[in-house]
Amino acid sequence: MLLGLCGGLAIGMLMGLLGGGGAILAIPLFVYGLHMEHTQAVVASLAVVAVGAVFGGATHLRQGHVMVTRGVTFGALGIIGSGVATAVSHRVSGDHFMLYFAALLLLVAGLMLRGAWKSRRFSSDATSLENALPAKSRWIPDRPILFLVSAIAVGFLTGFFGVGGGFLIVPALTIALAVPMQWAVGTSLLVIFINTMISLVLRGGQITAVDYSVVAPVMLMVIVGVLGGARLSSKVPAVALRTAFGVFLLVVAGSVAAAEI
């Protein structure tokens, strides 16, 4: 259980700091650390991530860093992906599921490292973006296809893997709508909450198959972590954090693949 508590704290901290990414650690935690079957792990992950997004999002909302209309629109579009994911997920075996998950970890690691590299290269642009007013961001997407595809993809990943998808939401908001990074992080937590709740509703009866006496302590630590992470989000160097987290995900991806092959 100590592993579950520490894992929950780490997941929450990363959600609060980065607006996503940390939630992807929930599946390995529940499958390997707490020995859940993969379908139960997905439901448990959705529940934990939803609660973390509520508390983290509330903190960002009080700081004025959540764009509600944009977040609700992005989340609503994700219903398409969530529906497809729920329809196909029960056809995938546990071994194949974890191999697919290892591939997802590699994708997220690549996005994290690429984002960190670009931030270092264009540090002056990043600084001006951080200080930009949210009112300057566009409501009509500059890249509408990217916005639509990202929203559907996030919905699918949330429904299939039980992850929040913040690693796609934040780039989509910053690129397609020119949302400043701090507001993108806060808004992504609103999107994560919407997508996870939709996926839980679509999974219906699977919700009761989870042992919540195991999930509850993890959920509590996620809340503690996400509240702390949200408060520190403007103080911690995001570039260094993304780089370290990206490298860590590469290690986790290799470990998951090795365990399943």
Quick one: pLDDT band at residue 139, thresholds 50, 70, 90? low
**Angstrom distance (rounded) from CA 32 to CA 27:** 8
Q: Which residue has the higher pLDDT, 73 or 237?
A: 73
Token reading at 83:
């529906």
Residue 12 lies in a domain: yes
The CA-based angle 192-197-199, given to 5 degrees, is 95
Per mean pLDDT, which range of 74-83, 165-174, 222-231 is the poorest?
Answer: 165-174
Could you tell me if 13 and 231 are in contact, meaning their C-beta atoms sit under 8 angstroms apart? no
124-128: Cβ within 8 A, 24+ apart: 126/181
What pLDDT shows up at residue 194?
A: 94
Residue 134 lies in a domain: no
Could you tell me if 74 and 191 are in contact, meaning their C-beta atoms sit under 8 angstroms apart? yes
Range of the domain at 91: 1-122+140-260
Residue 19 lies in a domain: yes
In the chain, where does DSSP find H-type helix? 2-18, 26-28, 38-62, 68-89, 94-121, 123-130, 144-161, 166-176, 181-203, 212-232, 238-260
Share of the chain above pLDDT 90, in %: 34
What are 34-46's pLDDT values in tens digits? 999 988 999 999 9
Residue 156 lies in a domain: yes
Residue 180 lies in a domain: yes
DSSP character for 131?
T
How much is the pTM? 0.82
**Which CA distances in Å does 255 have to 9, 94, 136, 163?**
21, 16, 43, 19
**Residue 244 scores a pLDDT above 60:** yes
Residue 189 lies in a domain: yes
Residue 110 lies in a domain: yes
Number of domains the chain is built from: 1
Residue 127 lies in a domain: no
The CA-based angle 210-216-221, given to 5 degrees, is 135
